[in-house]
Structure 1
Amino acid sequence: MADLIHIVYLSYSSKELSERELNDLLATIRRKNEIQNITGLLLYNDEAFIQVIEGDRENIHRVFDLISKDSRHTNVLKILEEPITKRAFPDWSMGFRKVTKEQNMQLPGFSDFMQNKHSEIDYEECAEAVRHLLYSFRKHI
């Protein structure tokens, strides 16, 4: 069995993305992820991204390194990295949803942490909350 991990990270787009730019980005990501057997979920809201990527440790570290250096992202912050026994998003080369603030308020476990670039966050304490948010979101789409 592969050495599976997932990484959850937060980042901000260096500019506001149009629907077409988002769709082009997703098409590219999905092709690359399929080749590398990477799955996950990407949420986008007002230039903020939160993403979970899962797969083989080596592939995930390589992809996260590329993301961290990508000029289309700013303030890339790894929130969580841990081994997993199975994928949470096995059929999604990259699930995606653009969400509004109003939709976020309806998600169990919602917080404004994607919108507050300057708040102090204890990332170890919020890891469980992040997992809950992502999995709650997956259940409601």
Structure 2
Amino acid sequence: MKQIVYISSAVRLMQDNELLAILKSAQKNNKAYNITGVLLYSGGTFIQAIEGEAKDVDKLYDIVDLDPRHKSLIKLLDKSLTERNFPDWSMGFAAVDEDNTKEIAGFLGSTDEILNSENNNAAVNILKTFITTNNLVITH
């Protein structure tokens, strides 16, 4: 099992419909590769954690790397994992304006799910920092 966390910059600020298209694409690819994880977006910056079998995570990361909707991809974490941190999320997702996205399956209902996690895994801590730094607070 393996986990990668990366951060990247959108080539331009994303509209809600574009973010939903990214979410749907991520969910489709993640299901095909048995990947779980979370994708956060704020002010033109993406951060994503993906986890699964090493060969699948590496293959999916290569696909993500080629996506023209973002640039300046920086891998923050690439490590072995004994168990998934996001086992129930084909791709949890949060954006600053969640009004149009909360009906989508896999949508992260609340950033509290991550912020209140007692898991001290590096990926979870990176996501907590991103949420806090960007004031990405979503509650339902």
TM-score, with length taken from structure 2: 0.71
Query: Structure 1 runs of 4+ off > 3 angstroms?
Result: none
Structure 2 unaligned residues grouped into runs of 5+:
98-110, 116-120, 132-137
Give the alignment partner of residue 16 of structure 1, picking from 13, 17, 23. Answer: 13
Deviation at 1:135, TM superposition (A): 5.6
Is this contact kept in 1: 2:3–2:79, CA < 8 A?
A: yes
CA distance in 1, matches of 2:80, 2:18: 32
Partners of 1:134 and 1:46 lie apart in 2 by 15
- In structure 1, runs of 5+ residues without a counterpart are 109-126
Q: Which residue of 1 aligns with 2:2?
A: 5
Instruction: State percent identity of aligned pairs.
Output: 35
Is 1:68 the counterpart of 2:65? The answer is yes
Matching residue's letter, 1:30:
Q
Matching of residues 1-141 of structure 1 within 5 Å: 4-99=1-96, 128=122, 131-134=124-127
CA-atom RMSD in angstroms: 2.5
Matched residue pairs, number? Answer: 112
Q: Letter of the aligned partner of 1:92 in structure 2?
A: W
Counterpart of 1:60, as a letter, is: V
Deviation at 1:99, TM superposition (A): 3.4
Moved more, 5-14 or 25-34: 25-34
Q: How far off is 1:93 after superposition?
A: 0.6
> Matches of 2:72 and 2:27 in 1, distance apart?
23
1:41-67 C-alpha deviation (Å, 9 max, x unpaired): 011001100110000101111111121
SS at match of 2:125: helix
Q: In structure 2, how many angstroms separate the alpha carbons of the residues matched to 1:74 and 1:82? A: 22
Which structure dedicates a bigger proportion of its chain to helix?
1
Question: In 1, distance between residues paired with 2:8 and 2:126?
Answer: 16
Q: Which has the larger radius of gyration?
A: 1
Question: Normalising to structure 1: TM-score of the pair?
Answer: 0.70
